[in-house]
Amino acid sequence: MTLKSPKAFVVGWPIDHSRSPLIHRYWLKTYHIKGEYKKKAIAPDKFAKAFLKLRDKGYCGGNITIPHKVRVMDLVDETDVMARKIGAVNTIHFSGDKVIGTNTDGYGFLTNLQNCAPHWICRNSHAVVLGAGGAARAVVAILLARDAQKIIVCNRTVEKAMDLQKHFGSRIEVQHWEKRNEILAGTDLLVNTTSLGMIGKPRLEMDINSLPAKAVVADLVYSPLETRLLHAARKNGHTIADGLGMLLHQAVPGFEIWFGKRPEVTDELRKLVVEDLENRT
């Protein structure tokens, strides 16, 4: 049952950078829903207590962001398969006495990818994933769930890539970071899940000339919107999928749970967030 005037939150530390309020408030306005979506800055040492109090304050649920996505797993009563596979929760709702957690990052990534590259088929595909952090886990989990055949995980800290292999099994191959330009032959999908290439971070040094022409290239970084990787890929004729598309699509399931309406990712919403990114970076 949807409350008359539901309230949802996004909790993180820090939280000022979050674009979630902009997205959810746009949808609330668009669909004339009398609801609220608020930012909550909660430090890690206060998180457990403060998180559970949010229900008493009348919230029906919300988004969990860095650095609480893994910690919150211990505080929820139920998680779905995706959250358990990824090992992190980014969306929760309060249901009676229970706190239910899910992770919509993989959904957001795949939905955006399919919108940008409708010809791309996940089943039996070969992917190269750069990075082995939280975002990589979401990407790997959804690709495996949709029957990708092989995923090469290439990370600076090779032990973290090996942890992923242990967790996700034999369809994962591990490669050393230094080999990233040499493993692209036969790849259907290249995904950057590292923070490299983001404004304020080092460049992602990558030569994609041996990537097959049919390969799709995705970058989870959305600031800048067109990263150097995506720019090079577009110039080489590859279909590309940017990080903003993932950010917008991952917000859809949460809005539907809290506010009872499945929202649309429109050009107008995208434009709004692009303008905000340009003004705030």
Tell which one of 129, 221, 232, 277 touches ligand NAP (CB under 6 A). 221
- How many residues belong to the site for ligand NAP (CB under 6 A)? 25
Answer yes or no whether residue 193 interacts with ligand NAP by CB under 6 A. Answer: yes
Tell which one of 62, 131, 253, 263 touches ligand NAP (CB under 6 A). 131
* Contact of 97 with 76, CB cutoff 8 Å: no
Answer yes or no whether residue 196 interacts with ligand NAP by CB under 6 A. Answer: yes
Tell which one of 38, 55, 156, 171 touches ligand NAP (CB under 6 A). 156
Q: At residue 69, what are phi and psi to the nearest 5 degrees?
A: -60, -30
Give least dist CB 198 to ligand NAP, A.
5
Tokens 């795949």 correspond to what residue?
110
What secondary structure letter does DSSP report for 205?
-
Tell which one of 99, 198, 206, 217 touches ligand NAP (CB under 6 A). 198
Question: Annotated active-site positions, please?
Answer: 69
In the region spanning residues 245 to 264, those forming contacts with ligand NAP, defined by CB under 6 A, are 246-247, 250
Gap between the Cα atoms of 84 and 141, Å rounded = 10
Tell which one of 21, 67, 87, 133 touches ligand NAP (CB under 6 A). 133
Beta bridge partners of 7: 36, 59
265: how many CB neighbours lie within 10 A of its CB? 20
Q: What is the 3-state secondary structure (H, E, C) of 136-199?
A: HHHHHHHHHHCCCCEEEEEECCHHHHHHHHHHHCCCEEEEEHHHCCCCCCCCCEEEECCCCCCC
- The contact pattern for ligand NAP, residues 52-91, with x = CB under 6 A and - = no contact, is ----------------------------------------
Token digits of residue 156: 């600076």
Answer yes or no whether residue 134 interacts with ligand NAP by CB under 6 A. Answer: yes
Site of interaction with ligand NAP (CB under 6 A): 105, 108, 131-136, 155-157, 160, 193-196, 198, 202, 220-222, 243, 246-247, 250
